[in-house]
Amino acid sequence: MSDYAPLVLTVPEPAVRPGGTPDFSNVKIPRAGTVARPEIDAEPESIRDLAFSIIRVLNRDAEAVGPWAGLLTDEELRAGLRDMMTLRAFDARMLIAQRQGKTSFYMQHMGEEAISCAFRKALEPGDMNFPTYRQAGLLIAGGYSLVDMMCQIFSNEKDPLKGRQLPVLYSARDHGFFSLSGNLTTQFIQAVGWAMASAIKNDTKIAAAWTGDGATAEGDFHAALVFASTYKAPVVLNVVNNQWAISTFQGIAKGGSGTFAARGLGFGIASLRVDGNDYLAVHAVAKWAAERARRNLGPTLVEYVTYRVGAHSTSDDPTAYRPKTESDAWPLGDPVIRLKNHLIARGAWSEERHKQAEAEVMDTVIAAQKEAESYGTLHAGGHPSMRDMFEGVYAEMPPHLRRQRQKAGV
């Protein structure tokens, strides 16, 4: 006879399901300005606590406080606000366009705008992002053409990717935006490889890897951490923890590790957590991590604590798996409103200017959409050719593919 009680399988569950009252009391949020800012060359071991806290700059009164504050000018902050507003307007228009059948699919950023928009400002020309589908702010804040983005989404005759890729899986080499694969986390390790190449060639460029919370479970993530750690690759390893992976809450990927940032500790990687809805905090941490990489001090893992306000994609309905009002209860607020209030508190912005900017931003996005639509949408107007489909598989088309193209009559 065994002395042991029967084993039982643990399957984590989110605190609340549809019908329940949203509850984020488990998300411990330190006061803004209270987390220390280590020296740039701090040993990862000496800053372990940063993997369990949340670096925040904007306080409840919309003031920028603490050691991570003070990096950005009024002008830069206004530009940041405009980037986030543009991304939000872009999302709104593309969601409507998808419903109108102008594209097959779209993925929005609502609530997560600060992360990609602010991170982009910490990079230099030549640096390379290996993004996921929820970092279009890297393009917008980098000045990439809205029309080109929309042409990709509409798969039209000016689609830079010739209709080959699913909407939002952009590629923009000149803008430091690596070709998006769609297979989760495959690119996390590629960013490390890119960074290693920069070091091998004694270059000064760095790379940035991106993943969501859910996708950290992929083996590629763990491979990336060991490579980054072993070779001290000049890379920033970004984990966007928006609490959800489609219908799966973050506890399934995180298991017992406490935070996603803590995943880096076992690899000896400097690991920080930051308020992902705080433009100033995101920017400050991104700068710090990029600076470490550029000074050959090795990789940094950054977990952005945020919330996916919208549906996962246009194929998803989140009311089936989480309370409708959960996003209202999210304790870190809205990134656009928080930056807007901060600018007003600084005396560098006003409600009127904000309203006016909203209208201008929407006009810009609508004008871009008009132009993009003049080149066609998924089922109407100009579209990529059937020849485009056969080209680009190889540098030079091999005979068997040439024969197939002939057979297809193009």
Partner 1 sequence: MIEAIRDAMDVMMARDGDVVVFGEDVGFFGGVFRATQGLQAKYGKTRCFDAPISELGIVGAAVGMAAYGLKPCIEIQFADYMYPAYDQIVSEAARLRYRSNGQFTCPMVIRMPAGGGIFGGQTHSQSPEALFTHVCGLKTVVPSNPVDAKGLLIAAIEDPDPVIFLEPKRIYNGPFDGHHDRPVVPWSKHELGEVPDGHYAVPLGKAAVRRTGADVTVLAYGTMVHVALAAAEETGVDAEVIDLRTLVPLDLDAITASVGKTGRCVIVHEATQTSGFGAELSALVQETCFYHLEAPVARVTGWDTPYPHAQEWDYFPGPARVGRALLETMEQ
Ligand X SMILES: Cc1ncc(C[n+]2csc(CCOP(=O)(O)OP(=O)(O)O)c2C)c(N)n1
Q: By CB under 5 A, tell whether 242 contacts Mg ion.
A: yes
Footprint on residues 298-327 left by partner 1 (CB under 8 A): 315-316, 320-321
Q: Which of 16, 42, 166, 309: binder of partner 1 (CB under 8 A)?
A: 166
Footprint on residues 227-266 left by ligand X (CB under 6 A): 240, 242, 244-246
CB of 216 to ligand X, least distance (A): 7
Q: Which stretch binds partner 1 (CB under 8 A): 228-236, 332-340, 358-366, 378-386?
A: 378-386
Q: By CB under 8 A, tell whether 390 contacts partner 1.
A: yes
Q: Which of 44, 163, 298, 310: binder of partner 1 (CB under 8 A)?
A: 163
Q: Which of 228, 245, 262, 286: binder of Mg ion (CB under 5 A)?
A: 245
Q: Which stretch binds Mg ion (CB under 5 A): 133-141, 179-187, 238-246, 264-272?
A: 238-246
Q: By CB under 8 A, tell whether 153 contacts partner 1.
A: no
Neighbouring C-beta atoms of residue 128, cutoff 10 Å: 23
What track of x and - describes contact with ligand X for positions 107 through 146 (by CB under 6 A)? ---------------------------x------------
Rule CB under 5 A: which residues touch Mg ion?
Answer: 212-214, 242, 245
Rule CB under 8 A: which residues touch partner 1?
Answer: 8-9, 11, 13, 17, 104-105, 155, 159, 162-167, 169, 181-185, 214-215, 217-220, 245-248, 252-253, 255, 315-316, 320-321, 378, 383-386, 388-390, 393, 400-401, 404-405, 408
